[in-house]
């Protein structure tokens, strides 16, 4: 949600911190700020609005902290923006997470002058209270952490030191040459150093420019490995594209290929990081797919794949519901958690729940070194590269590829797949088919006719039902048009009451075994004067208001094709409405709080 940055070294802190929080903008935010230490005092500048709207160059010094805030406690205003200071302005702090006992702690801090309504400001005053009682800053920091209930990633600046802590919210360190970096994820600091440390739950640390230490809350030293990351940081640039979202849609042929490269050999699927034996996987009786938002939609596709191809009973759960429902699971279940960031708070809690009951857990994530990737029994990376647009596109398609590969792999183990070579060959043809569609389509023209609608309905059946859900989500996320996705046959059970001449109905109807059924649903829409935009395969185009042609592939792989037009349609409609496509209001890329 919020983004955190910090620097200590010999260089100008404000310019580095501005760069870091600019690269964290994709996480979503409503205000931002930087504080630096120079000439014996800390200077702070913050405000509501974008990083580009504020000139931080007047902040001098070689050590500082920075923040982009996504409001959780307190409205969006100057006072609630970060960094926050103690009463004497000797210490400043930035925080991501939610402190659940903030009101209780605020009540014991009598005499402290609070300037905001945030839970974060409670932390800095609690530290100040311990310092005033005679504790060192480090001891006060640790005492404070032990009293906090909830989730936090914290960076505190006091003189020429930084204090960091992590519980339930990600925080990474970058180790440079006589300099240290801190950020909410590794991407913004990889332009400065590839040497990355991922803090673990309950870690705190003290940073100097030429040294650091990491302890647990019992002040015992802990050893955290320095990982050498080699992500392509050029992907943070939009290149020739107007928006990151459009760039990432067009990257899908490449990212789909990355998702299967090295995982197909001799007409078989091979995974390097499952860490679960084939004997154990053969005994799996049920699969539970868990995700949030777009990842949940990918999970629904996965549910069809595992039941059709692997012949394994499968259910799909929202992570936020699964974690609280006391699910009935055991060692015969395989839980697969889907996440773009690998830091989704509800998904992390779901993993803990599943593992506590004996299930094996696989994580399919894009975030290298993320919390989920370190928690699970086995992991599969998407290798999709940095996804900056808040609305996920290329990571969705990469999730579908991995789920397809995994269904073929498990089906091969169980003897339910007779011709894996044919299935894998067809997958390898998908990038070229999508490239051809991206080069020649009519979606921008279609969008110009419907961008001013107030409501939209998406319909699909079977494998294309989750694509209807995904299309509706994308449209509402970035264009702020109310949209719903439904199984086409369910239209008669409610949504049909909304259809009139002003409502576009987007129907995903490729040629296949259910095509006659969905044609009947389309007739019901047309009889109520609804505008029908049909996404269909070549040669099927009569009787519709708008036709978007897509290539024909097997039903297993059709979601990889049919999702591209709904992504593009939402993009062009949002663009024509003048919306901020890459940073839609109120949304965050990485949801690290409940």
pLDDT in tens, 234-259: 567 888 999 999 999 999 999 999 99
Q: What is the pLDDT of residue 540?
A: 60
Compute the half-sphere exposure of residue 293: CA atoms within 13 Å on the CB side of its CA. 23
Told to judge if 589 belongs to the known catalytic residues of this protein, a careful annotator would answer: yes
pLDDT at 117: 86
pLDDT level of residue 591 (50, 70, 90 thresholds): confident
Find out whether the peptide bond into 30 is cis, omega within 30 degrees of 0: no
Query: Which entry of 2, 32, 144, 579 is annotated as an active-site residue?
Result: 2
Q: Which position among 167, 394, 474, 589 bears the catalytic label?
A: 589
Nearest to 359 by CA among 270, 276, 269, 469: 276
Q: Strands 3-8, 482-487: parallel, antiparallel or unpaired by DSSP?
A: unpaired
443 to 220, 255, 393, 397, 460: CA distances (angstroms) = 59, 22, 16, 19, 18
Integer angstrom CA distances of residue 122 from 72, 81, 128, 137: 14, 14, 10, 16
In this predicted structure, what is the pLDDT of residue 590?
67
The separation between CA 253 and the C-alpha centre of its own chain, rounded to angstroms, equals 20
Characterise 375 by phi-psi region: left (phi > 0), alpha (psi -120 to 50), beta (else).
Answer: alpha
pLDDT tier for residue 594 given thresholds of 50, 70 and 90? low
Q: Tell me, what's the pLDDT at 593?
A: 63
| pTM for the whole structure | 0.87
Mean pLDDT of 273-290: 94
What are residue 449's phi and psi, to 5 degrees? -90, -15
**What domains appear along the chain, each with residue ranges and CATH number?**
3-230 (3.60.20.10), 243-438 (3.40.50.10490), 443-576 (3.40.50.10490)
* Residue 18 φ then ψ, to 5°: -60, -40
Mean pLDDT over 146-169 rounds to 95
* 469's tokens: 């859900």
The residue that leads in pLDDT, 589 or 12, is 12
Q: Is the pLDDT score of 481 beyond 80?
A: yes
What pLDDT sits at residue 70? 78
Q: What percent of the chain has pLDDT over 70?
A: 97
Instruction: Give the pLDDT score at 81.
Output: 86
Residue 234: the pLDDT is 54
Mean pLDDT of 350-366: 95
Rg (CA), the chain: 25
Residues 491-526 pLDDT 10s: 889 888 888 888 899 999 998 888 888 888 888 888
SS3 345: helix
71-104 residue pLDDT tens = 776 777 878 888 999 999 999 999 998 899 999 9
Q: What is the pLDDT of residue 72?
A: 73
Confidence of residue 449 (pLDDT cuts 50, 70, 90): very high
Mean pLDDT of 363-382: 91
With 80 as the cut, is the pLDDT of residue 432 above it?
Answer: yes
């Amino acid at each position: 949600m919020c983004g955190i940055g910090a620097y200590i070294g010999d260089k100008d802190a404000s310019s580095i911190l501005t760069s870091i929080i600019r690269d964290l903008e994709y996480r979503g935010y409503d205000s931002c700020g930087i504080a630096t230490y120079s000439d014996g005092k800390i200077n702070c500048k913050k405000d509501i609005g974008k990083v580009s709207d504020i000139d931080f160059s007047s902040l001098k010094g070689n050590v500082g902290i920075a923040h982009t805030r996504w409001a959780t406690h307190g409205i969006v205003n100057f006072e609630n923006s970060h960094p926050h200071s103690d009463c004497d302005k000797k210490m400043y702090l930035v925080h991501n997470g939610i402190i659940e006992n903030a009101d209780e702690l605020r009540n014991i801090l009598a005499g402290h002058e609070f300037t905001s309504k945030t839970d974060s400001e409670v932390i800095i005053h609690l530290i100040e209270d311990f310092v005033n009682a005679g504790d060192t800053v480090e001891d006060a920091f640790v005492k404070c952490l032990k009293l906090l209930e909830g989730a936090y990633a914290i960076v505190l600046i006091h003189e020429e030191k930084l204090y960091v802590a992590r519980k339930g919210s990600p925080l990474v360190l970058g180790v440079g040459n006589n300099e240290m970096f801190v950020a909410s994820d590794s991407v913004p600091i990889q332009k400065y150093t590839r040497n990355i440390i991922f803090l673990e739950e309950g870690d705190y640390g003290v940073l100097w420019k030429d040294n650091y230490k990491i302890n647990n809350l019992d002040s015992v030293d802990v050893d955290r490995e320095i990982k050498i990351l080699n992500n392509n940081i050029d992907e943070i640039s939009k290149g020739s594209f107007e928006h990151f979202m459009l760039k990432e849609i067009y990257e899908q042929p490449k990212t789909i290929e990355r998702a299967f490269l090295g995982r197909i050999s001799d007409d078989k699927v091979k995974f390097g990081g499952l860490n679960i034996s084939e004997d154990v996987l053969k005994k799996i009786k049920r699969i539970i797919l868990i995700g949030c938002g777009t990842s949940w939609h990918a999970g629904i596709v996965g549910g069809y794949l595992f039941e059709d191809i692997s012949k394994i009973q499968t259910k799909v759960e929202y992570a936020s519901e699964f974690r609280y429902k006391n699910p009935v699971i055991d060692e015969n279940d395989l839980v697969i958690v889907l996440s773009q960031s690998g830091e989704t708070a509800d998904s992390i809690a779901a993993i803990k729940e599943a593992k506590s009951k004996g299930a094996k857990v696989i994580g399919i994530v894009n975030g290298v070194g993320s919390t989920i990737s370190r928690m699970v029994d086995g992991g599969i990376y998407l290798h999709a590269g940095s996804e900056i647009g808040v609305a996920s596109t290329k990571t969705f398609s990469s999730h579908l590829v991995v789920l397809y590969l995994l269904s073929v792999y498990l089906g091969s183990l169980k003897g339910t797949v007779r011709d894996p070579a044919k299935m894998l060959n067809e997958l390898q043809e998908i990038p070229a088919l999508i490239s051809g569609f991206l080069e020649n389509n009519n979606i921008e023209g279609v969008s110009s006719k419907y961008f001013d609608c107030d409501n939209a309905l998406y319909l699909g059946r079977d494998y294309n039902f989750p694509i209807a859900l995904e299309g509706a989500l994308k449209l509402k996320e970035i264009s702020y048009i109310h949209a719903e996705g439904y199984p086409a046959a369910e239209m008669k059970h409610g949504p049909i009451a909304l259809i009139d001449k002003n409502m576009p109905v987007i129907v995903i109807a490729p040629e296949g075994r259910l095509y006659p059924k969905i044609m009947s649903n389309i007739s019901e829409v047309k009889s109520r004067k609804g505008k029908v935009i049909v996404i269909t395969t070549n040669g099927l185009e009569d009787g519709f208001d708008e036709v978007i042609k897509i290539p024909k592939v097997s039903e297993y792989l059709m979601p990889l094709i049919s999702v591209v037009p709904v992504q593009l349609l939402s993009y062009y409609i949002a663009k024509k409405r003048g919306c901020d496509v890459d940073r839609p209001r109120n949304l965050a890329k990485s949801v690290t709080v409940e």
